Amino acid sequence: MSIKPVHIIGGGLAGSEAAWQAAQAGVPVILHEMRPVRGTDAHKTEGLAELVCSNSFRSDDAETNAVGLLHAEMRLAGSLIMESGDTHQVPAGGALAVDRDGFSQAVTAKLESHPLMTIVREEVSSLPPEEWDQAIIATGPLTAPDLAAAIAAKTGADALAFFDAIAPIIHFDSIDMNVAWFQSRYDKVGPGGTGKDYINCPMDKAQYDAFIEALLAGAKTEFKQWEGTPYFDGCLPIEVMAERGPETLRHGPMKPMGLTNAHNPTVKPYAVVQLRQDNALGTLYNMVGFQTKLKHGEQVAIFRTIPGLENAEFARLGGLHRNTYINSPELLDGTLQLKARPGLRFAGQITGCEGYVESAAIGLLAGRFAAAARQGRPLSAPPVTTAFGALLNHITGGHIVSDDEPGKRSFQPMNVNFGLFPPVEVPKVEGKRLRGKEKTLAKKRAMTARALQDCGAWLATGEVTKAAE
């Protein structure tokens, strides 16, 4: 007996991962991707899982970092996104960063060659038809207006929105390495790294003050009808950070701590601009934390005042686009299914998670849920003690509604973090009372150990063999 396919709309990280998980479970998948039939303001290629902002999946530390834990859980679940990321990693200190083109090409090739996968290049401008009784909308923050309107009409709820910004990318050979130097903060060695994975450009106080003044005075992109839309705090434009106070950037992406100028080791920089490798060849570097809404001409003029970047050539300048996400706690059930229409699920950033890895993780869950439903298996949500479960719980109901402002939505985009996990008992160390940082690290290690154990158990109970279908 043939199995009806699961339809997935959107070939970003979430849609690609959802498609892979469902197909790997033995369910046929039809993946609908509108590029290149219709482009977006941020995408440059027609490849699946294209990275449009940073090329970093952030920390790969599965022992004391929540996103690193999510990496580990996704690897346990056979994630295509993590497999491709690991294969195409580039040095990035303690982070997992990838060659964006190689990564996208790998994901695309894997999906195109899967025997249960059909990829259709078309725009889906309305809600999936009823005959697509198992479908996933994973159109991300750049959902086409017609589909966004159809979603709003079905749910009776307006979408929420925030701005997301993109950092510039610079050609390596245009960086003056007589001024800049290679070093990871505190010489930290990460996956595929050496402890010298970032390029650092130093500033003294006068240079920093002039830079902040130029940021504040520079001409910005205007949005008119979008004014009043909030930014996501994890991806603020650099000039918005500067508006919060002259020292904000020096305690954020331009902090000098853990860095020593190789050309002048006795003089501590007042501030440092870091650039991270963006492709496997090492020919491109992106400006860490320098997402911006400055107009292009202003970006070139202002960023070339940074020591070491006086002759910088930009492969891509920064930009700003509008992100859209739904009020998931009101609209979705615990398996990411639209309450108003059983069988229709949402995945990725449109659900209100934030970050590449988080989006892919929610896609992974949606793909597994849809496959289980199609095969008539029980749907089992991951325990809230896992990174999967903690993130899912946030999306489907883990926020607090304000009693002071009835009707005001408190749900906001969120990266995975330990604040989303249930408390854990810190193991006692015989003859020693843990305090301060030592206690904090012990607590994180206890959380991650519990999470990986519970995730393994959840995955074991949810497995299905193709022979049993």
Three-class DSSP category at 363 = helix
Q: How many CA atoms lie within 13 A of 364 on its CB side?
A: 26
Sole residue written with tokens 């519990």:
450
Three-class DSSP category at 254 = coil
Contact 456, 76 (CB under 8 A): yes
In angstroms, the CA 144 to CA 428 distance is 53
Contact 215, 298 (CB under 8 A): no
What contacts 465, CB < 8 A, 6 or more positions away?
Answer: none
Task: Work out the burial of residue 144: count CB atoms within 10 Å of its CB; fewer than 13 is exposed, 13-18 middle, 19 or more buried.
Answer: middle
Structure-block tokens of residue 384: 């809230």
Peptide bond into 36 cis (omega under 30): yes
- In 3D, which of 207, 217, 203 has the Cα closest to residue 273? 203
Contact 392, 381 (CB under 8 A): yes
Structure-block tokens of residue 1: 């007996």
In angstroms, the CA 266 to CA 292 distance is 33
- The Cα diameter of the chain in Å comes to 74
In angstroms, the CA 394 to CA 417 distance is 11
Contact 160, 75 (CB under 8 A): no
Residue 121 sits at the vertex; the CA angle it makes with 120 and 124, to the nearest 5 degrees, is 90
Identity (one letter) of the amino acid at 271?
Answer: A
Annotated binding-site members? 10-15
Annotated binding-site members for FAD? 10-15
Helix 66-76 to helix 387-397 angle (10° resolution) is: 110
- In 3D, which of 4, 7, 35 has the Cα closest to residue 128? 7
Sole residue written with tokens 């883990």:
398
In sequence order, what are the beta bridge partners of 33? Answer: 121
* Helical segments of 156-226, H only: 205-217
Contact 352, 326 (CB under 8 A): yes
Structure-block tokens of residue 156: 């009776």
Contact 185, 198 (CB under 8 A): yes
- In 3D, which of 304, 334, 332 has the Cα closest to residue 317? 304
